[in-house]
Every structure is written in structure tokens, then in C-alpha cells.
């Protein structure tokens, strides 16, 4: 209605400018999920073209997100045009990682990928476990999740390596392999799908726990310890 638009994590400006022209909208807002260059690389050029641009990020990313003008803290709303949403602080991949939530749609950046999660550069396994399973995992099952990178096929192959008996993973891998072969993307996923196929959200699975026990026989098998071992296995997969 307002013809105002937002972009999530513009790694470069050119594709954003093309989309703005194609759709005849005014870009008013950038929603950055974290400070890594491949998510903020277009900020400065877009700000130069659209001087009134509002750029959101977490308060702990002050000085790390180019041109950031809104420093989100607990309880803040996220707004553009007539849209009003919220955010989840998801430390793990980075200390300031966040997920933007608008109704039944969420943008997870590099915290949650389809069948996977981001590497831990600034947070702990326990933090990332909670970011996925308590925060993002607290959203409704039907929530559509848009993630930051197309790693789904590789992630599903890792998921099968730790839970080969999961028929849902086999089915999704077949679908995603066909999608990628046709040049299509696998985003979005849903929270319900992730509960069925994402090993990092399945730390209570008997088969995954058996896999972890075989890697570390002395493992105490708390869910957070299972998560830690899974992340280490994925790092070397």
C-alpha cells in the first residue's frame, strides 16, 4: 500500500537497485541480521542512493554494521511502511546475530539454515543451541524461515550422516536435489520441516545420540553436549 520496501542483508547494491526499479517501490529500510561483510556489503552504496534509509541491527553491532542507524535492544519493534515486526537476539554465529519476525515469516540470517546452522565465530555451542531450539524454536510450526545461504543440499547430506534412518531427510534431499538441478532455491523452509530434518534441532533423537556416543563414548549426552559434538562433526564434514 505504501510502496515502501525493506531489504534483508544486502551483500551488494546492484541486485537491490534492480529489484527496486522493477517493482516500483521506495527502499526505506535495511534489516541486517549480523555484521559479516557478505550481509552488509551493499549498505554504504544503498545509503548513498537513498539518504533517508533506516538501517537496523543489534545494539552490540554498533560500529560493525556500516551506516547502522537503529541499534535494537530487547523489546524494540521493527517497522517499515505499514509492517511491524519483532526480532530475536540469537547469539552463536556472532554475538549480535538476530532473526527478524513479521507474523508467520522470519529471516534467520546465518543462525538457522535449512537442515543446518551457522558456524560459531563469537558465541558458544550452548548459546547457539538455545538460539535455535528455544528462541527460533518458540515460533509457530508454520512459520516460513528465510535463511542467508543456499547450503541445504550439503546440510541434508550431513544430516543423513548422523541420522541415516530419518525418512524425512531422505525425502527432503530428493526434493532439494531436484530444485537445485533446475536452478531453483530451497528457501523458505518451515519450522515444522526443521524439527523433522535439522540435526541441530533434533538433539534428543535416539539415532543422533547414538552417533554422538560412538564419537565420544564418555559423552554425558545432555542436549547441549550433543549439539556441541554435532557442530564439531559438521565443521569437518
Q: Which residue has the higher pLDDT, 53 or 2?
A: 53
Average pLDDT over residues 198-214: 94
Tell me which H or E stretch contains 71: strand 70-72
Average pLDDT over residues 148-155: 97
In this model, does residue 22 exceed pLDDT 80? yes
DSSP state of 200: G
Q: Is the model's pTM score more than 0.85?
A: yes
pLDDT of amino acid 220 = 74
Distance CA 40, CA 24 (A): 23
In this model, does residue 60 exceed pLDDT 90? yes
Q: Which residue has the higher pLDDT, 222 or 191?
A: 191
pLDDT tens, residue by residue, 108-133: 999 999 999 999 999 999 999 999 99
For the annotated catalytic residues, the residue numbers are: 34, 36, 38-39, 93, 110, 149
pLDDT bracket for residue 97 (50, 70, 90): very high
Average pLDDT over residues 24-50: 97
Mean pLDDT of the chain: 96
pLDDT of amino acid 25 = 95
Amino acid at each position: 500500500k505504501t510502496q515502501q520496501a525493506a531489504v534483508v542483508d544486502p551483500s551488494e547494491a546492484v541486485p537491490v537497485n534492480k529489484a527496486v526499479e522493477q517493482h516500483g517501490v521506495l527502499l526505506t529500510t535495511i534489516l541486517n541480521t549480523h555484521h559479516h561483510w557478505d550481509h552488509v556489503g551493499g549498505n554504504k552504496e544503498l545509503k548513498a542512493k537513498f539518504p533517508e534509509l533506516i538501517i537496523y541491527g543489534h545494539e552490540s553491532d554498533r560500529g560493525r554494521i556500516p551506516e547502522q542507524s537503529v541499534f535494537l535492544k530487547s523489546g524494540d519493534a521493527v517497522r517499515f511502511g505499514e509492517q511491524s515486526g519483532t526480532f530475536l537476539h540469537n547469539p552463536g554465529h556472532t554475538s549480535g546475530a538476530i532473526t527478524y519476525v513479521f507474523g508467520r515469516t522470519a529471516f534467520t540470517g546465518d543462525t538457522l539454515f535449512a537442515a543446518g546452522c551457522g558456524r560459531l565465530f563469537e558465541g558458544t555451542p550452548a548459546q547457539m543451541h538455545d538460539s535455535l531450539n528455544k528462541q527460533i524454536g518458540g515460533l509457530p510450526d508454520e512459520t516460513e524461515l528465510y535463511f542467508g545461504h543456499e547450503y541445504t543440499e550439503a546440510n541434508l547430506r550431513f544430516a543423513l550422516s548422523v541420522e541415516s534412518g530419518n525418512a524425512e531427510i531422505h525425502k527432503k534431499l530428493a526434493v532439494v536435489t531436484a530444485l537445485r538441478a533446475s536452478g531453483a532455491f530451497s528457501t523458505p523452509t518451515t519450522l515444522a520441516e526443521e524439527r523433522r530434518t535439522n540435526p541441530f534441532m533434533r538433539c534428543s533423537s535416539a539415532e543422533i545420540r547414538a552417533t554422538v556416543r560412538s564419537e565420544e563414548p564418555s559423552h554425558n549426552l545432555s542436549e547441549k553436549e550433543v549439539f556441541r559434538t554435532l557442530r564439531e562433526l559438521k565443521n569437518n564434514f
